[in-house]
Structure 1
Amino acid sequence: MDTDRFSKLPAVIASLVLLPVLLELLAWYIEGEEYDVARAVTVVLVIVALALITTVLGRIRARLPVLLVVALTVTAAGEAVLGFVAAFGPVLWRGGVPGELHGLITAGVSAFAVATGVYLLVQYHRGLYLPYLEAGMGPLPTVTKRRVIGESEILIRTMPDIGPSVEKALASCVAMVDQDDLHFVAYFGDQRCRFYTDVLEDGDLAHFFHETDQEERRTIYLRAGNQLNWLTQRLNRQLRRLEGGVLIRTVLDVERGAMFFYWIDETRYLIGVTLDQRKVDVSDDKMARLVDTIRGHFTLPPINQRERAPKPQGHLRSIPRSERWPESGS
């Protein structure tokens, strides 16, 4: 569900705080009682500013971590200036800040800092310290097809409209997945998943699912792929001075299977998954060939032409204690 988690905050703020203030102003006007207009206007302006801030956060939430850091820095600097004026103003230039205004601003800054800290702690507890990684996923593929190839029933989910080159990439991915080794492949372009295909619902793979079902796994894989892309971009900035080019392959070899991240070009990448630890190398080779095939669809040269070391032939000879070990030459 692609809903804006911040879209309702301005309305909540207005209904809980701003509306009572406006009703109080209306009662003051009708009854003709004394009322501190300056204080009421200050409160209204602060509430309106908070509503505007939440609206802006809702529109550019993909940069929320940066915004939080910048906002905390700015508010801390403003609070420092305000505290200096409140403390030394009456002494240095016989002026200062009204106590109510100082208290209101201090309370607002403190509330913002506490809310930010709680939010980041919740994200950290969920294993996702960077909110961008969730917000940047965008809408997921919804068009579902199923195809039977051999003994495998392959699930295919795509975005509604994909171009001819992406169609070719989809066909290549469908041809690679099977129930023996490569079980899931997702294609990302322009910061969102364009399609994915898998055989996770195959009966031979049922013993790999215990606490999560197939749909949950797909969501986790797509989210992890988004995270890996974000982390890869940051690592590329650090590794740029090594003059080795961009990071084109990352393998998360876990206890049961592995996840593969393969870079295609500046805007595209692939995520692959095998559930079988015995088939990690086979799946890795498949992903490498798949990326080169997809790059060919976009008239790009292959980048994964790697050679594996030849397997040792014959039997290894043990070295007796009386025989000296060969020295390592330079």
Structure 2
Amino acid sequence: MSSPRSEDTAAAWFARMSLLHRPGFWIPVLVMIGFGAYHLVWWASDTPYSSAALITLLACVVAALLMLAIVRSSVVALGTSVKFFLAAVGFGAAVLGVDLVIGPARVGTETTTDVVGALALLGGLFVFSAGIYLRTDVDRPSAIRPGPRHVAEERFRLNGADAVLRRFRDFGPGTNRLVDVCRPQITAADLHFVAYSVDGECRFYLDVLEDSNVDRFFDQVTPETRREHYLQQARYLHRLMTGLNASFREIDAGILIRVVLDVERGALYYYWIDDRRFMTGVTLDQEMVDAADRKMVHVVDEVRVSLGHKRIGDLER
């Protein structure tokens, strides 16, 4: 029987290999194959080499890809445009480099042309790779870079369930009172996971994901995998909320203090505390989404009071 760690590693490997199934990867590869076939036919035949014909062909391909990108997205964001521009420029430079290396000498001597072509090819591949990386990796929510490892762990019975408490670096002795606020609300019936974060990094989380009464929610993933993804999603949500709050300030709408991601099997809660702190919670039971949300409100209110802030209900008063 394979261990949960090996299953998680395999899943992560297949997630990375999913890049091979994206049009952003294989369309340029096919174009490069066609480019190589063009030069192979030219080399094997007696027809004169025509850079103009090749450039015209590549321009048509790039124009078609650009039109496809515009059609698929009604709004072309600046970030997306920059990534596409990097990939296109890098691809074009690589094509030019191959053309210089294979084709006749056009930059001084034949040796000079080969050197310039090789440099253009290497530089183009680097820029193209940067554009593809930004396009496929940085924007993935699972900004899915693992966070820091916990530095302390406790396992105990809590409200009739098997609980796990993990502390991270910079936990601080004053944070213990926040853990105590969470303890009464965590049960196997509704609120299954609560995390407290500062500056985008988790300080502690408390959950009952390994309790036998919660096993029915784990058909395909392990509790450990869920924990890692909850923390990753929390960091991504925090960055997203920071950007949205900047927009809301322009219309004097105040701070976005609560987000509930009601999914098919449960819900993920995000609560803003202040500019540096936030809390996230999870229920795995769809029927308990409202009950768990009420518990999260209570937890966040008590945490806010402990930190010297108003309760959520008092913010508009």
TM value normalised by structure 1: 0.59
Match of residue 173, structure 1, among 164, 182, 203? 182
Structure 1 counterpart SS, 2:149: coil
Structure 1 counterpart SS, 2:220: coil
Q: Is the 8 A contact 2:142 2:229 kept in 1?
A: no
Q: Is the 8 A contact 1:148 1:154 kept in 2?
A: yes
Q: Is the 8 A contact 1:140 1:192 kept in 2?
A: no
For 1:250, the equivalent position in structure 2 comes to: 259
Call closer, same or farther: CA 1:161–1:243 in 2, change over 3 Å.
closer
CA distance in 2, matches of 1:161, 1:305: 30
Match of residue 113, structure 2, among 99, 102, 107? 99
CA distance in 2, matches of 1:280, 1:213: 21
Call closer, same or farther: CA 1:117–1:296 in 2, change over 3 Å.
same
Question: Letter of the aligned partner of 1:116 in structure 2?
Answer: A
Question: Letter of the aligned partner of 2:260 in structure 1?
Answer: V
For 2:144, the equivalent position in structure 1 comes to: 134
1:107 deviates by 1.1
Match of residue 294, structure 1, among 295, 303, 307? 303
Question: Letter of the aligned partner of 1:197 in structure 2?
Answer: L
Question: Letter of the aligned partner of 2:220 in structure 1?
Answer: E
> Following superposition of structure 1 onto structure 2, how do residues 172-191 of structure 1 map, counting pairs within 5 Å?
172-191=181-200
Call closer, same or farther: CA 1:133–1:122 in 2, change over 3 Å.
closer
Structure 1 counterpart SS, 2:279: strand
> Following superposition of structure 1 onto structure 2, how do residues 1-330 of structure 1 map, counting pairs within 5 Å?
72=86, 99-120=113-134, 122-123=136-137, 129-130=139-140, 133-135=143-145, 138-304=147-313
| Larger relative helix fraction | 2
Structure 1 counterpart SS, 2:153: strand
1:232 deviates by 1.0
| Count of residues in correspondence between the two structures | 228
CA distance in 1, matches of 2:311, 2:171: 23
- What is the aligned-residue RMSD (CA, Å)? 3.7
1:216 deviates by 0.8
CA distance in 1, matches of 2:128, 2:307: 49
Q: Is the 8 A contact 1:140 1:193 kept in 2?
A: no
1:120 deviates by 4.5
1:201 deviates by 1.1
Q: Is the 8 A contact 2:83 2:134 kept in 1?
A: no
Structure 1 counterpart SS, 2:133: helix
Identity %: 36
CA-to-partner distance for each residue in 1:184-243, whole Å, 9 max, x for gaps? 011111221111110111111111110001111111111111111111112122222221
Q: Looking at CA atoms only, which structure, 1 or 2, has the larger radius of gyration?
A: 1
CA distance in 1, matches of 2:304, 2:261: 23
Structure 1: runs of 5 or more not aligned: 1-64, 91-97, 307-330
Q: Is the 8 A contact 1:236 1:246 kept in 2?
A: yes
Q: Is the 8 A contact 1:181 1:282 kept in 2?
A: yes
Q: Is the 8 A contact 1:165 1:298 kept in 2?
A: no
Structure 2 counterpart SS, 1:193: strand
For 1:319, the equivalent position in structure 2 comes to: none
CA distance in 1, matches of 2:173, 2:304: 14
